[in-house]
Chain A
Amino acid sequence: MSGWLTSVIALVVGDREADRVVPPTGFTATLTVFTSAAMAFLAVFALALSLATDRLADRWAAELARTSTLRISAPAGQLGPQTEAALRLLETTPGVASARALTTEEQRDLLTPWFGAELPLETLPIPQLIEIVEEGDGYDPTGLRARLQAEVPGAVLDDHTRWREPLVEAASRLRGLGIVSLVLIGGATAAMITLAAQAALAANAQVIRVLRLVGAQDAYIARAFVRRFTLRAMAGAAIGMLAGLLGILLLPRADIAGGFLTGLGFRGTGWLLPLLIPPLAGVVAFFATRSAALRSLKEQS
Protein backbone atom coordinates (compact mmCIF):
# COMPACT_ATOMS: atom_id res chain seq x y z
CA MET A 1 0.00 0.00 0.00
CA SER A 2 1.44 3.37 -0.95
CA GLY A 3 2.49 5.78 1.80
CA TRP A 4 -0.08 8.46 1.03
CA LEU A 5 -2.92 5.94 0.98
CA THR A 6 -1.85 4.70 4.41
CA SER A 7 -1.78 8.31 5.54
CA VAL A 8 -5.28 8.93 4.18
CA ILE A 9 -6.61 5.91 6.06
CA ALA A 10 -4.82 7.03 9.23
CA LEU A 11 -6.28 10.50 8.73
CA VAL A 12 -9.81 9.18 8.53
CA VAL A 13 -9.44 6.62 11.33
CA GLY A 14 -7.47 8.94 13.62
CA ASP A 15 -5.28 8.11 16.60
CA ARG A 16 -6.02 10.01 19.78
CA GLU A 17 -2.62 9.36 21.35
CA ALA A 18 -0.73 10.20 18.16
CA ASP A 19 -2.72 13.41 17.80
CA ARG A 20 -1.62 14.51 21.24
CA VAL A 21 2.13 14.35 20.65
CA VAL A 22 2.11 17.75 18.94
CA PRO A 23 1.33 20.66 21.29
CA PRO A 24 -2.21 21.84 20.59
CA THR A 25 -1.64 25.57 20.53
CA GLY A 26 0.48 27.92 18.50
CA PHE A 27 0.16 30.71 15.99
CA THR A 28 0.21 28.21 13.13
CA ALA A 29 -3.18 26.88 14.24
CA THR A 30 -4.76 30.32 13.97
CA LEU A 31 -2.92 31.02 10.73
CA THR A 32 -4.14 27.80 9.12
CA VAL A 33 -7.75 28.27 10.17
CA PHE A 34 -7.77 31.93 9.13
CA THR A 35 -6.08 31.27 5.79
CA SER A 36 -8.44 28.44 4.95
CA ALA A 37 -11.46 30.48 5.97
CA ALA A 38 -10.37 33.48 3.90
CA MET A 39 -9.55 31.34 0.89
CA ALA A 40 -12.83 29.42 1.12
CA PHE A 41 -14.70 32.72 1.36
CA LEU A 42 -13.00 33.91 -1.83
CA ALA A 43 -13.52 30.52 -3.46
CA VAL A 44 -17.28 30.79 -2.91
CA PHE A 45 -17.31 34.10 -4.79
CA ALA A 46 -15.01 32.80 -7.53
CA LEU A 47 -17.29 29.82 -7.94
CA ALA A 48 -20.35 32.06 -8.00
CA LEU A 49 -18.65 34.29 -10.58
CA SER A 50 -17.81 31.31 -12.72
CA LEU A 51 -21.35 29.93 -12.58
CA ALA A 52 -22.93 33.36 -13.11
CA THR A 53 -20.84 34.08 -16.18
CA ASP A 54 -21.69 30.63 -17.49
CA ARG A 55 -25.39 31.44 -17.18
CA LEU A 56 -24.86 34.93 -18.57
CA ALA A 57 -23.03 33.61 -21.63
CA ASP A 58 -25.86 31.19 -22.31
CA ARG A 59 -28.50 33.88 -21.79
CA TRP A 60 -26.78 36.48 -23.95
CA ALA A 61 -26.16 33.96 -26.67
CA ALA A 62 -29.75 32.74 -26.58
CA GLU A 63 -31.37 36.18 -26.37
CA LEU A 64 -29.27 37.80 -29.02
CA ALA A 65 -29.48 34.78 -31.28
CA ARG A 66 -33.30 34.89 -31.27
CA THR A 67 -33.69 38.55 -32.20
CA SER A 68 -32.48 40.88 -34.97
CA THR A 69 -32.91 44.53 -35.78
CA LEU A 70 -33.79 46.12 -39.09
CA ARG A 71 -32.75 49.72 -39.43
CA ILE A 72 -34.42 51.86 -42.08
CA SER A 73 -32.78 55.12 -43.06
CA ALA A 74 -34.68 57.11 -45.62
CA PRO A 75 -35.78 60.70 -46.36
CA ALA A 76 -38.70 61.84 -44.23
CA GLY A 77 -41.37 61.16 -46.85
CA GLN A 78 -40.15 57.65 -47.62
CA LEU A 79 -39.56 56.39 -44.09
CA GLY A 80 -43.20 55.35 -43.50
CA PRO A 81 -43.72 53.54 -46.82
CA GLN A 82 -40.37 51.75 -46.55
CA THR A 83 -41.19 50.66 -42.99
CA GLU A 84 -44.51 49.21 -44.11
CA ALA A 85 -42.84 47.51 -47.06
CA ALA A 86 -40.25 46.00 -44.75
CA LEU A 87 -42.89 44.74 -42.33
CA ARG A 88 -44.84 43.14 -45.19
CA LEU A 89 -41.70 41.50 -46.47
CA LEU A 90 -40.84 40.17 -43.03
CA GLU A 91 -44.35 38.75 -42.54
CA THR A 92 -43.75 36.47 -45.50
CA THR A 93 -40.18 35.53 -44.57
CA PRO A 94 -39.80 31.93 -43.28
CA GLY A 95 -38.19 31.76 -39.83
CA VAL A 96 -39.54 35.13 -38.70
CA ALA A 97 -42.04 34.76 -35.85
CA SER A 98 -42.91 38.43 -35.58
CA ALA A 99 -41.69 41.84 -36.57
CA ARG A 100 -42.75 45.21 -35.25
CA ALA A 101 -41.64 48.77 -35.66
CA LEU A 102 -40.46 50.42 -32.45
CA THR A 103 -42.65 53.29 -31.33
CA THR A 104 -41.28 56.81 -31.04
CA GLU A 105 -41.28 56.47 -27.23
CA GLU A 106 -39.30 53.25 -27.39
CA GLN A 107 -36.74 54.84 -29.71
CA ARG A 108 -36.59 57.85 -27.40
CA ASP A 109 -35.94 55.56 -24.44
CA LEU A 110 -33.07 53.96 -26.31
CA LEU A 111 -31.46 57.33 -27.03
CA THR A 112 -32.16 58.96 -23.66
CA PRO A 113 -29.00 57.56 -21.94
CA TRP A 114 -26.88 59.34 -24.55
CA PHE A 115 -28.83 62.50 -25.39
CA GLY A 116 -31.04 63.12 -22.36
CA ALA A 117 -34.82 63.01 -21.89
CA GLU A 118 -35.58 66.27 -23.67
CA LEU A 119 -34.51 65.05 -27.07
CA PRO A 120 -36.76 66.49 -29.87
CA LEU A 121 -36.88 63.22 -31.76
CA GLU A 122 -39.38 64.49 -34.32
CA THR A 123 -36.95 67.09 -35.62
CA LEU A 124 -34.05 64.68 -36.07
CA PRO A 125 -33.47 62.28 -38.97
CA ILE A 126 -33.64 59.18 -36.73
CA PRO A 127 -33.80 55.85 -38.55
CA GLN A 128 -36.81 53.63 -37.87
CA LEU A 129 -35.98 50.41 -36.01
CA ILE A 130 -37.88 47.15 -36.53
CA GLU A 131 -37.48 44.35 -34.01
CA ILE A 132 -37.49 40.87 -35.53
CA VAL A 133 -38.12 37.78 -33.40
CA GLU A 134 -37.09 34.50 -34.93
CA GLU A 135 -38.67 31.05 -34.74
CA GLY A 136 -37.49 27.53 -35.48
CA ASP A 137 -34.08 27.54 -37.11
CA GLY A 138 -34.38 31.25 -37.85
CA TYR A 139 -34.36 33.02 -41.20
CA ASP A 140 -31.76 33.00 -43.95
CA PRO A 141 -29.92 36.35 -43.41
CA THR A 142 -28.30 36.33 -46.87
CA GLY A 143 -31.62 35.77 -48.65
CA LEU A 144 -33.37 38.38 -46.49
CA ARG A 145 -30.66 40.97 -47.17
CA ALA A 146 -31.00 40.35 -50.92
CA ARG A 147 -34.78 40.83 -50.82
CA LEU A 148 -34.47 43.95 -48.63
CA GLN A 149 -31.91 45.44 -51.01
CA ALA A 150 -34.39 45.01 -53.85
CA GLU A 151 -37.58 46.13 -52.07
CA VAL A 152 -36.46 48.39 -49.19
CA PRO A 153 -33.24 50.08 -50.30
CA GLY A 154 -32.82 52.06 -47.04
CA ALA A 155 -32.91 48.95 -44.82
CA VAL A 156 -29.91 47.52 -43.02
CA LEU A 157 -30.30 44.14 -41.32
CA ASP A 158 -28.41 43.63 -38.07
CA ASP A 159 -28.60 39.98 -37.00
CA HIS A 160 -26.60 40.79 -33.77
CA THR A 161 -23.70 38.58 -34.76
CA ARG A 162 -21.21 41.37 -34.20
CA TRP A 163 -22.69 42.02 -30.72
CA ARG A 164 -23.25 38.46 -29.74
CA GLU A 165 -19.77 37.13 -30.42
CA PRO A 166 -17.78 39.60 -28.28
CA LEU A 167 -20.36 39.37 -25.47
CA VAL A 168 -20.24 35.58 -25.45
CA GLU A 169 -16.47 35.73 -25.65
CA ALA A 170 -16.36 38.21 -22.77
CA ALA A 171 -18.62 35.98 -20.69
CA SER A 172 -16.48 32.97 -21.58
CA ARG A 173 -13.34 34.84 -20.49
CA LEU A 174 -14.99 35.86 -17.24
CA ARG A 175 -15.84 32.21 -16.63
CA GLY A 176 -12.20 31.34 -17.38
CA LEU A 177 -11.10 34.01 -14.90
CA GLY A 178 -13.36 32.43 -12.30
CA ILE A 179 -11.75 29.04 -12.87
CA VAL A 180 -8.24 30.55 -12.82
CA SER A 181 -9.18 32.31 -9.57
CA LEU A 182 -10.25 28.99 -8.05
CA VAL A 183 -6.96 27.37 -9.09
CA LEU A 184 -4.97 30.32 -7.71
CA ILE A 185 -6.94 30.19 -4.46
CA GLY A 186 -6.14 26.47 -4.20
CA GLY A 187 -2.46 27.16 -4.89
CA ALA A 188 -2.31 30.03 -2.42
CA THR A 189 -4.01 27.86 0.22
CA ALA A 190 -1.47 25.10 -0.39
CA ALA A 191 1.41 27.59 -0.15
CA MET A 192 0.13 29.16 3.06
CA ILE A 193 -0.54 25.81 4.69
CA THR A 194 2.89 24.57 3.61
CA LEU A 195 4.49 27.62 5.26
CA ALA A 196 2.39 27.16 8.38
CA ALA A 197 3.29 23.46 8.52
CA GLN A 198 6.99 24.22 8.08
CA ALA A 199 6.79 26.83 10.83
CA ALA A 200 5.02 24.33 13.08
CA LEU A 201 7.65 21.67 12.36
CA ALA A 202 10.45 24.14 13.08
CA ALA A 203 8.74 25.32 16.27
CA ASN A 204 8.32 21.71 17.38
CA ALA A 205 11.89 20.62 16.70
CA GLN A 206 12.19 19.32 20.26
CA VAL A 207 9.00 17.28 19.90
CA ILE A 208 10.47 15.72 16.77
CA ARG A 209 13.79 15.02 18.54
CA VAL A 210 11.97 13.28 21.38
CA LEU A 211 9.79 11.28 19.01
CA ARG A 212 12.84 10.15 17.05
CA LEU A 213 14.58 9.23 20.29
CA VAL A 214 11.75 6.88 21.23
CA GLY A 215 11.69 5.21 17.83
CA ALA A 216 8.92 7.06 15.98
CA GLN A 217 9.12 6.64 12.23
CA ASP A 218 8.79 9.58 9.85
CA ALA A 219 5.26 8.58 8.80
CA TYR A 220 4.11 8.63 12.43
CA ILE A 221 5.62 12.07 13.09
CA ALA A 222 4.30 13.48 9.81
CA ARG A 223 0.84 11.99 10.49
CA ALA A 224 0.51 13.88 13.75
CA PHE A 225 1.07 17.16 11.90
CA VAL A 226 -0.84 16.23 8.73
CA ARG A 227 -4.01 15.20 10.55
CA ARG A 228 -4.01 18.34 12.64
CA PHE A 229 -3.41 20.69 9.71
CA THR A 230 -5.92 18.89 7.49
CA LEU A 231 -8.65 19.10 10.10
CA ARG A 232 -7.84 22.75 10.80
CA ALA A 233 -7.93 23.59 7.09
CA MET A 234 -11.27 21.82 6.71
CA ALA A 235 -12.71 23.61 9.73
CA GLY A 236 -11.45 26.98 8.48
CA ALA A 237 -12.78 26.28 4.98
CA ALA A 238 -16.19 25.34 6.40
CA ILE A 239 -16.34 28.65 8.28
CA GLY A 240 -15.22 30.58 5.18
CA MET A 241 -17.69 28.71 2.98
CA LEU A 242 -20.61 29.51 5.30
CA ALA A 243 -19.56 33.16 5.44
CA GLY A 244 -19.27 33.23 1.66
CA LEU A 245 -22.70 31.69 1.19
CA LEU A 246 -24.13 34.21 3.63
CA GLY A 247 -22.50 36.99 1.61
CA ILE A 248 -24.02 35.62 -1.59
CA LEU A 249 -27.44 35.37 0.05
CA LEU A 250 -27.22 38.98 1.20
CA LEU A 251 -26.51 40.28 -2.32
CA PRO A 252 -29.48 42.10 -3.94
CA ARG A 253 -31.61 39.78 -6.01
CA ALA A 254 -31.07 39.90 -9.76
CA ASP A 255 -34.75 40.22 -10.61
CA ILE A 256 -35.05 43.27 -8.34
CA ALA A 257 -31.93 45.20 -9.19
CA GLY A 258 -31.02 43.71 -12.56
CA GLY A 259 -27.49 43.83 -13.92
CA PHE A 260 -24.61 41.43 -13.98
CA LEU A 261 -23.07 41.70 -10.50
CA THR A 262 -26.43 41.33 -8.79
CA GLY A 263 -26.90 38.10 -10.76
CA LEU A 264 -23.91 36.65 -8.90
CA GLY A 265 -25.05 33.61 -7.01
CA PHE A 266 -26.11 30.01 -7.24
CA ARG A 267 -29.20 28.43 -8.74
CA GLY A 268 -30.74 25.05 -7.97
CA THR A 269 -28.14 22.31 -7.47
CA GLY A 270 -25.44 24.97 -7.87
CA TRP A 271 -25.92 25.68 -4.14
CA LEU A 272 -24.40 22.26 -3.44
CA LEU A 273 -21.11 23.07 -5.19
CA PRO A 274 -19.68 25.25 -2.35
CA LEU A 275 -20.07 22.21 -0.06
CA LEU A 276 -17.15 20.71 -1.97
CA ILE A 277 -14.83 23.52 -0.82
CA PRO A 278 -14.07 22.21 2.74
CA PRO A 279 -13.20 18.66 1.59
CA LEU A 280 -11.13 20.08 -1.27
CA ALA A 281 -9.34 22.36 1.20
CA GLY A 282 -8.72 19.24 3.29
CA VAL A 283 -7.21 17.44 0.31
CA VAL A 284 -4.99 20.43 -0.50
CA ALA A 285 -3.92 20.71 3.16
CA PHE A 286 -3.29 16.96 3.41
CA PHE A 287 -0.88 16.85 0.48
CA ALA A 288 0.73 20.22 1.28
CA THR A 289 1.38 19.31 4.94
CA ARG A 290 2.49 15.77 4.18
CA SER A 291 4.96 16.96 1.58
CA ALA A 292 6.25 19.74 3.89
CA ALA A 293 6.49 17.39 6.86
CA LEU A 294 8.37 14.64 5.07
CA ARG A 295 10.73 17.20 3.50
CA SER A 296 11.37 18.87 6.86
CA LEU A 297 11.94 15.54 8.60
CA LYS A 298 14.46 14.61 5.94
CA GLU A 299 16.24 17.94 6.35
CA GLN A 300 16.24 17.67 10.15
CA SER A 301 17.75 14.17 10.14
Chain B
Amino acid sequence: MIELRDVAYTYGRGELFAGINLTLAPGSFHFLTGPSGAGKTTFLKLCYGELISTHGTVSLFGKDVRDMTRDDVALSRRRIGVVHQDCQFLDHLPVSENVALPLTASGRHAEIEPNLSDLLGWVGLSGQAAQRPPQLSGGERQRAALARAVITSPDVIIADEPTGNIDWEMSQRLLTLLVELNRMGKAVMVATHDLNLIRAAKAQVQARVLRLKDRQLQAAGADL
Protein backbone atom coordinates (compact mmCIF):
# COMPACT_ATOMS: atom_id res chain seq x y z
CA MET B 1 0.00 0.00 0.00
CA ILE B 2 2.80 2.38 0.95
CA GLU B 3 6.22 1.63 -0.39
CA LEU B 4 9.50 3.49 0.05
CA ARG B 5 12.44 2.62 -2.20
CA ASP B 6 15.91 4.05 -1.58
CA VAL B 7 14.37 7.16 -0.09
CA ALA B 8 16.43 10.09 1.11
CA TYR B 9 15.38 13.45 2.46
CA THR B 10 17.63 16.45 2.54
CA TYR B 11 17.02 19.69 4.38
CA GLY B 12 18.88 22.86 3.56
CA ARG B 13 21.58 22.05 6.10
CA GLY B 14 22.10 18.43 5.31
CA GLU B 15 20.77 14.95 4.70
CA LEU B 16 18.22 13.82 7.32
CA PHE B 17 18.20 10.20 6.24
CA ALA B 18 19.03 8.13 3.17
CA GLY B 19 18.72 4.69 1.63
CA ILE B 20 15.41 3.90 3.28
CA ASN B 21 13.38 0.94 2.05
CA LEU B 22 10.08 -0.01 3.63
CA THR B 23 6.76 -1.53 2.67
CA LEU B 24 3.61 -1.02 4.74
CA ALA B 25 1.55 -4.07 3.84
CA PRO B 26 -2.09 -4.70 4.82
CA GLY B 27 -2.34 -5.90 8.44
CA SER B 28 1.22 -4.86 9.33
CA PHE B 29 2.04 -3.00 12.55
CA HIS B 30 5.16 -0.85 12.74
CA PHE B 31 6.61 1.28 15.49
CA LEU B 32 9.04 4.01 14.55
CA THR B 33 11.48 5.15 17.21
CA GLY B 34 14.59 7.22 17.32
CA PRO B 35 16.12 10.20 19.07
CA SER B 36 14.52 13.63 18.80
CA GLY B 37 15.49 15.30 15.56
CA ALA B 38 16.17 12.00 13.82
CA GLY B 39 13.40 12.74 11.34
CA LYS B 40 10.49 10.59 12.53
CA THR B 41 7.84 13.18 11.75
CA THR B 42 9.46 13.91 8.37
CA PHE B 43 9.53 10.19 7.64
CA LEU B 44 5.81 9.90 8.43
CA LYS B 45 5.04 12.94 6.27
CA LEU B 46 6.79 11.20 3.38
CA CYS B 47 4.57 8.19 4.01
CA TYR B 48 1.35 10.14 3.55
CA GLY B 49 2.50 12.46 0.78
CA GLU B 50 2.81 15.62 2.83
CA LEU B 51 6.46 15.86 1.76
CA ILE B 52 8.25 14.60 -1.33
CA SER B 53 11.52 12.74 -0.95
CA THR B 54 14.65 14.33 -2.36
CA HIS B 55 15.80 10.95 -3.62
CA GLY B 56 14.19 7.59 -4.24
CA THR B 57 10.55 6.68 -4.71
CA VAL B 58 7.55 6.82 -2.39
CA SER B 59 4.49 5.03 -3.77
CA LEU B 60 1.03 5.46 -2.29
CA PHE B 61 -1.27 2.65 -3.39
CA GLY B 62 0.88 1.92 -6.43
CA LYS B 63 1.36 5.49 -7.57
CA ASP B 64 4.59 7.48 -7.30
CA VAL B 65 3.95 10.58 -5.16
CA ARG B 66 6.13 12.59 -7.52
CA ASP B 67 3.64 11.96 -10.33
CA MET B 68 0.61 12.82 -8.21
CA THR B 69 -1.26 16.11 -8.30
CA ARG B 70 -2.43 17.76 -5.07
CA ASP B 71 -5.87 16.31 -5.69
CA ASP B 72 -4.38 12.83 -6.20
CA VAL B 73 -2.60 13.15 -2.86
CA ALA B 74 -5.89 14.27 -1.28
CA LEU B 75 -7.61 11.18 -2.66
CA SER B 76 -4.83 8.99 -1.22
CA ARG B 77 -5.23 10.69 2.17
CA ARG B 78 -8.76 9.37 2.28
CA ARG B 79 -7.19 5.91 2.50
CA ILE B 80 -4.65 6.99 5.13
CA GLY B 81 -5.79 8.05 8.57
CA VAL B 82 -3.31 10.39 10.22
CA VAL B 83 -3.09 11.19 13.95
CA HIS B 84 -0.78 14.06 14.84
CA GLN B 85 0.80 14.64 18.22
CA ASP B 86 -0.71 18.13 18.35
CA CYS B 87 -4.11 16.97 17.03
CA GLN B 88 -5.23 19.87 14.89
CA PHE B 89 -8.98 20.41 14.72
CA LEU B 90 -11.40 22.99 13.43
CA ASP B 91 -11.99 24.68 16.76
CA HIS B 92 -15.27 26.33 15.72
CA LEU B 93 -16.94 22.98 15.03
CA PRO B 94 -18.16 20.47 17.62
CA VAL B 95 -16.26 17.25 18.15
CA SER B 96 -18.87 15.26 16.19
CA GLU B 97 -18.41 17.41 13.07
CA ASN B 98 -14.63 17.32 13.44
CA VAL B 99 -14.67 13.54 13.61
CA ALA B 100 -16.99 13.39 10.59
CA LEU B 101 -14.85 15.86 8.61
CA PRO B 102 -13.13 13.26 6.36
CA LEU B 103 -16.56 12.01 5.24
CA THR B 104 -17.86 15.56 4.78
CA ALA B 105 -14.81 16.55 2.75
CA SER B 106 -15.15 13.52 0.50
CA GLY B 107 -18.88 14.08 -0.05
CA ARG B 108 -19.88 10.86 1.75
CA HIS B 109 -22.58 12.54 3.81
CA ALA B 110 -24.78 9.44 3.89
CA GLU B 111 -22.11 7.52 5.84
CA ILE B 112 -21.91 10.03 8.67
CA GLU B 113 -25.14 9.15 10.47
CA PRO B 114 -24.64 5.36 10.69
CA ASN B 115 -20.93 5.57 11.68
CA LEU B 116 -20.50 8.61 13.86
CA SER B 117 -22.27 7.63 17.07
CA ASP B 118 -20.76 4.13 17.07
CA LEU B 119 -17.31 5.55 16.51
CA LEU B 120 -17.65 8.18 19.22
CA GLY B 121 -18.82 5.46 21.58
CA TRP B 122 -15.89 3.26 20.58
CA VAL B 123 -13.38 5.99 21.53
CA GLY B 124 -15.39 6.94 24.61
CA LEU B 125 -16.41 10.40 23.46
CA SER B 126 -20.20 10.04 23.18
CA GLY B 127 -20.65 12.54 25.98
CA GLN B 128 -18.30 15.06 24.36
CA ALA B 129 -19.85 15.03 20.87
CA ALA B 130 -21.30 18.52 21.17
CA GLN B 131 -18.25 20.08 22.80
CA ARG B 132 -15.70 22.17 20.94
CA PRO B 133 -12.14 20.75 20.67
CA PRO B 134 -10.59 23.36 22.99
CA GLN B 135 -12.89 22.03 25.74
CA LEU B 136 -11.37 18.53 25.51
CA SER B 137 -8.54 17.14 27.61
CA GLY B 138 -5.31 15.92 25.98
CA GLY B 139 -6.45 12.32 26.01
CA GLU B 140 -9.87 13.18 24.64
CA ARG B 141 -8.26 15.13 21.81
CA GLN B 142 -6.04 12.15 20.97
CA ARG B 143 -9.06 9.85 20.88
CA ALA B 144 -11.03 12.33 18.79
CA ALA B 145 -8.10 12.52 16.38
CA LEU B 146 -8.01 8.75 16.19
CA ALA B 147 -11.76 8.60 15.56
CA ARG B 148 -11.38 11.17 12.78
CA ALA B 149 -8.49 9.20 11.32
CA VAL B 150 -10.48 5.96 11.08
CA ILE B 151 -14.00 7.17 10.20
CA THR B 152 -13.43 6.59 6.49
CA SER B 153 -12.20 3.07 7.32
CA PRO B 154 -8.77 3.81 5.83
CA ASP B 155 -6.32 1.13 4.76
CA VAL B 156 -3.43 2.68 6.68
CA ILE B 157 -3.26 4.49 10.02
CA ILE B 158 -0.25 6.66 10.74
CA ALA B 159 0.12 8.13 14.22
CA ASP B 160 2.83 10.57 15.27
CA GLU B 161 3.50 10.39 19.02
CA PRO B 162 -0.18 9.74 19.74
CA THR B 163 0.50 9.21 23.45
CA GLY B 164 2.89 12.11 23.89
CA ASN B 165 0.58 14.25 26.00
CA ILE B 166 -1.48 11.68 27.87
CA ASP B 167 -1.13 9.46 30.89
CA TRP B 168 -0.30 5.75 30.87
CA GLU B 169 -3.87 4.60 31.31
CA MET B 170 -5.04 6.66 28.37
CA SER B 171 -2.03 5.47 26.33
CA GLN B 172 -3.13 1.89 26.95
CA ARG B 173 -6.63 2.71 25.83
CA LEU B 174 -5.37 4.31 22.62
CA LEU B 175 -3.07 1.37 21.99
CA THR B 176 -6.00 -0.99 22.39
CA LEU B 177 -7.89 0.96 19.74
CA LEU B 178 -4.92 0.79 17.35
CA VAL B 179 -4.51 -2.93 17.96
CA GLU B 180 -8.21 -3.49 17.28
CA LEU B 181 -7.90 -1.63 14.00
CA ASN B 182 -4.83 -3.64 13.08
CA ARG B 183 -6.74 -6.84 13.74
CA MET B 184 -9.33 -5.55 11.28
CA GLY B 185 -6.60 -5.63 8.63
CA LYS B 186 -5.45 -2.03 8.73
CA ALA B 187 -1.74 -1.26 8.39
CA VAL B 188 -0.60 0.76 11.40
CA MET B 189 2.52 2.83 11.85
CA VAL B 190 3.15 4.65 15.13
CA ALA B 191 6.06 6.98 15.82
CA THR B 192 6.82 7.03 19.55
CA HIS B 193 9.47 7.49 22.19
CA ASP B 194 7.46 5.42 24.61
CA LEU B 195 9.22 2.04 24.95
CA ASN B 196 6.67 0.83 27.48
CA LEU B 197 3.95 1.39 24.92
CA ILE B 198 5.91 -0.66 22.37
CA ARG B 199 6.40 -3.48 24.87
CA ALA B 200 2.71 -3.44 25.70
CA ALA B 201 1.83 -3.59 22.02
CA LYS B 202 4.22 -6.43 21.29
CA ALA B 203 2.39 -8.43 23.91
CA GLN B 204 -0.81 -8.08 21.94
CA VAL B 205 0.20 -7.96 18.30
CA GLN B 206 3.09 -8.86 16.05
CA ALA B 207 4.70 -5.47 15.69
CA ARG B 208 7.88 -4.57 13.91
CA VAL B 209 9.99 -1.89 15.56
CA LEU B 210 12.08 0.41 13.41
CA ARG B 211 14.58 2.97 14.58
CA LEU B 212 15.76 6.06 12.76
CA LYS B 213 19.36 6.49 13.77
CA ASP B 214 22.48 7.78 12.05
CA ARG B 215 20.39 8.69 8.98
CA GLN B 216 19.36 5.07 8.54
CA LEU B 217 16.23 3.05 9.27
CA GLN B 218 17.20 0.05 11.37
CA ALA B 219 15.29 -2.90 12.79
CA ALA B 220 15.21 -2.41 16.56
CA GLY B 221 13.02 -5.19 17.82
CA ALA B 222 15.84 -7.10 19.50
CA ASP B 223 16.59 -4.14 21.78
CA LEU B 224 13.19 -4.24 23.42
Partners in one complex: yes
Stretch at the interface among A123-131, A209-217, A265-273: A209-217
User: Do B70 and A213 touch (CB < 8 A)?
Assistant: no
Min CB–CB distance A4 → chain B (angstroms): 16
- Closest chain A residue to B82, Cβ basis: A213
Q: How far is the CA of A297 from the CA of B88 in the complex (A)?
A: 18
Q: A216-B74, A218-B70, A218-B71 are in contact. Are A211 and B93 (CB under 8 A)?
A: no
Min CB–CB distance B121 → chain A (angstroms): 21
Q: A17-B97, A220-B105 are in contact. Are A215 and B77 (CB under 8 A)?
A: yes
A207 / chain B contacts, CB cutoff of 8 Å: 90
Q: Is A20 an interface residue (CB 8 A)?
A: yes
Q: What is the size, in residues, of chain B's interface with A at 8 Å between Cβ atoms? A: 25
Q: Is A18 an interface residue (CB 8 A)?
A: yes
Q: Which of A209, A212, A218, A301 contacts B77 (CB 8 A)?
A: A212
Q: Is A206 an interface residue (CB 8 A)?
A: yes
Q: How far is the CA of A20 from the CA of B101 in the complex (A)?
A: 10
User: Do B74 and A215 touch (CB < 8 A)?
Assistant: yes
Q: How far is the CA of A248 from the CA of B204 in the complex (A)?
A: 79
User: Do A21 and B77 touch (CB < 8 A)?
Assistant: no
Q: Is A116 an interface residue (CB 8 A)?
A: no
Q: How far is the CA of A212 from the CA of B101 in the complex (A)?
A: 11
Taken residue by residue from 1 to 41, chain A's Cβ proximity to chain B (1 for < 8 Å, 0 otherwise) reads as 00000000000000001101101100000000000000000
User: Do A213 and B77 touch (CB < 8 A)?
Assistant: yes
User: Do A21 and B101 touch (CB < 8 A)?
Assistant: yes
Q: Which of B78, B88, B148 contacts A209 (CB 8 A)?
A: B88
Q: Is B117 an interface residue (CB 8 A)?
A: no
Q: Which of B71, B90, B97, B104 contacts A217 (CB 8 A)?
A: B71
A23 / chain B contacts, CB cutoff of 8 Å: 90-92
User: Do A20 and B93 touch (CB < 8 A)?
Assistant: yes
User: Do A17 and B109 touch (CB < 8 A)?
Assistant: yes
Taken residue by residue from 207 to 240, chain A's Cβ proximity to chain B (1 for < 8 Å, 0 otherwise) reads as 1011111111111100000000000000000000
A215 / chain B contacts, CB cutoff of 8 Å: 74-78, 102, 105-106, 152
CB within 8 Å of B: which of A164-204?
none
Which residues of A approach B to under 8 Å, CB–CB?
17-18, 20-21, 23-24, 206-207, 209-220, 297-298, 301
5 interchain residue pairs of minimum CB distance: A215-B77, A216-B105, A215-B78, A214-B102, A17-B104
- Extra inter-chain contacts (9) besides given A20-B97, A209-B88, A218-B71, CB under 8 Å: A23-B92, A207-B90, A214-B148, A215-B77, A217-B71, A218-B70, A218-B74, A220-B105, A297-B70
